[in-house]
Structure 1
């Protein structure tokens, strides 16, 4: 698809004297939509050639002519900016892992069920101990995943948000409640 930009006085946007706000900073897919602008004094429509670049290491600079069309200059990003962005992305990924583990655990066992498991573990219930081991296994994996992402040992992947490989909790709450009379 060919894109076009509106230019003023043969200079690409943004001009010193800006066009109406509805025309600024846009790439248009069709010249037909803006054919009337050609008739207006000082306004031209030029072809825009989007540059190919890696947004993690480079940024778009000023508009520059390229033959009859316009494009944007591609400039390297400062190393400090890239490092700060990577740090922010790692923090977001770590938070996502933590939330995914919490959501998975609490979808299986709510706070009341967790309290029940805790009381039954203190009483020595084997079923509650199995639920606690399941819970700890998921939490341990959560913190392992968070640590390797934070250290940069492994790249973040969507699979890091999936804790379903640990299955459902070993026993349902009614099975755990059935243990209560035995402990009384």
Structure 2
């Protein structure tokens, strides 16, 4: 990743799966990028390890204050509660959609494609997710594959998706590769 690339990590105030935030965050930093935490409110977010509270992380900007034009890519970590909340917040949905409208790469893992369904950006795309989203993605016009990582370039941007924390190594590599483009 070229120095100077700034990658937004969009998360809800509570419910992000911690490892799906921290591992891609580290990968972006190790690749020479600058990760920034964007949420729907200021302060700190509460991460989880499955259903148990884990660490807290400081928010760099809110969706109302952050300009998608100031970022080179977007990571959408999973956890069930995180994208389920984000898809109900119009500002968060607009923020995510802006990356597609601008042709910027997006990486989403686990349940995160729920936010993309709400943003109406998966139609005609091939992706993966946590298996329970298969029907939701199909109903939204996407093709779902049960693979460790899917990199879709058939559309306005590169879309990298993975299923679960066990796929993080492949997800992080594909995401940082996409952000370098």
Per the shorter chain, which TM-score range?
A: under 0.3
| TM-score (normalizing by structure 1) | 0.22
| TM-score (normalizing by structure 2) | 0.22
* Structure number with higher helix proportion: 1
* Structure number with higher strand proportion: 2
Of structures 1 and 2, the one with the larger relative CO (CA 8 A, separation 6+) is 2
Larger radius of gyration: 1
